[in-house]
A and B are shown apart, each in its own frame.
Chain A
Amino acid sequence: GEDVEQSLFLSVREGDSSVINCTYTDSSSTYLYWYKQEPGAGLQLLTYIFSNMDMKQDQRLTVLLNKKDKHLSLRIADTQTGDSAIYFCADLNQAGTALIFGKGTTLSVSS
């Protein structure tokens, strides 16, 4: 079935780069998404990449997509303590009706 997998935890020091990885099973998606969830809040759309792109850069964020390996990554440059949150990778289901989310990667940034 459709599935999105992420590592559960990542710990980095302030100023370092963070790389959050995601693999997905469905290759028919038009877009793949990264969402950020802070404690007690909803999911905030961080960035997304069109499926025919390999890379998208948006300020400190870089998204890399390897369609052959069905692998998506999010790189945060110069990670700040305010980046501490849960990051979700999301893919569209085969019916095209909804997003399938990974379990989320908890990013912890220490100063």
Chain B
Amino acid sequence: DAGVIQSPRHEVTEMGQEVTLRCKPISGHNSLFWYRQTMMRGLELLIYFNNNVPIDDSGMPEDRFSAKMPNASFSTLKIQPSEPRDSAVYFCASSSGTASNQPQHFGDGTRLSIL
């Protein structure tokens, strides 16, 4: 079975540019999560969708970050304009229930470098 698919795997861009990260959750999963991983802060939740609706976006750092889930099989995380401090690995995860009752399955992440 296909797991969570993220693209691109790596992204290097200059500061000020728009960055779009993509995620395809596991088919049939109705919860989707975006996380950011850095050495300093570890893994942090950015936003959680359930049935395509954002439930918790309290982790989105600022207005430069936005996330959408137009349908059950696709989500994007956009950073505009990007800054060097946004450099991190961004993970997407999905689960078949809510955050509280089903384990989350992670994609391989997008390694983002902002120069």
A interface residues with partner B (beta carbon < 8 Å): 30-31, 33, 35, 40-45, 48, 88, 92-93, 95-104
Contact = CB atoms under 8 A, between A and B. Distances in A.
Contacts of B59: 98
Given A42-B106, A45-B104, A45-B105, A101 B42 contact: yes
A85 B55 CA distance: 32
B103 A33 contact: yes
Contacts, number: 55
Contacts of A30: 100-101
B87 interface: no
Nearest to B41: A103
B100 A43 contact: no
Q: Chain B contact residues (Cβ within 8 angstroms of A): what range? A: 20 to 34
Nearest to B42: A103
Contact of B109 (A42, A48, A102, A104): A42
A43 B109 CA distance: 9
Nearest to B105: A45
B14 interface: no
B29 to A, nearest CB: 13
Contacts of A98: 33, 45, 48, 56, 59, 99
Contacts of B55: 97
Given A102-B42, A104-B42, A97 B108 contact: no
B45, B91, B98, B107: most-surrounded residue (chain A CB, <10 A):
B45
